[in-house]
Amino acid sequence: MKRNKWVIVMTWISVLALFLCVAGLIAVAQGQTKTGSTTTEKTTPKQETKKSDRFQVTGLGDSLTAGVGDTDGKGYVRRVVDTMEKDGTRVTLSNLAISGARSNQLLSQLGQKEIAQQVANADVVFMTIGGNDLFRGGAALEDLNTAEIQKNETAYLKNLEQTYKRIRELNKDAVVYHLGLYNPFVDVKKRVELASIAAKWNMDTQNLASKFSRVVYVPTYDYFILNGKKYLSSDHFHPNGAGYQLFADRVSSVMTTDGEGEAK
- CA 4 – CA 94 distance, rounded (Å): 84
pLDDT of residue 15: 46
Mean pLDDT, contiguous 10-residue spans, the chain (264 residues) = 48 49 48 40 32 87 98 98 97 98 99 98 98 81 80 98 99 98 84 90 99 98 91 95 98 83 48
pLDDT of residue 52: 56
User: What's the DSSP call for residue 263?
Assistant: -
Residue 59, H or E segment: strand 55-61
Residue 239 near residue 70 (C-beta atoms within 8 A): yes
Residue 128, H or E segment: strand 124-128
CA nearest to 182, candidates 193, 194, 164: 194
pLDDT of residue 97: 99
Domain extents for the chain?
Answer: 1-44, 53-258
DSSP SS3 for 127: strand
Identify the CATH number of the domain defined by range 53-258.
3.40.50.1110
55-88 b/e (C-beta count within 10 Å ≥ 16 → b): bbbbbbbbbbbbbbbbeeebbbbbbbbebbeeee
Predicted TM-score of the model (pTM) = 0.78
pLDDT of residue 37: 37
pLDDT of residue 28: 43
CB-count exposure of residue 194 (10 Å: 0-12, 13-18, 19+): buried
User: What's the DSSP call for residue 236?
Assistant: S
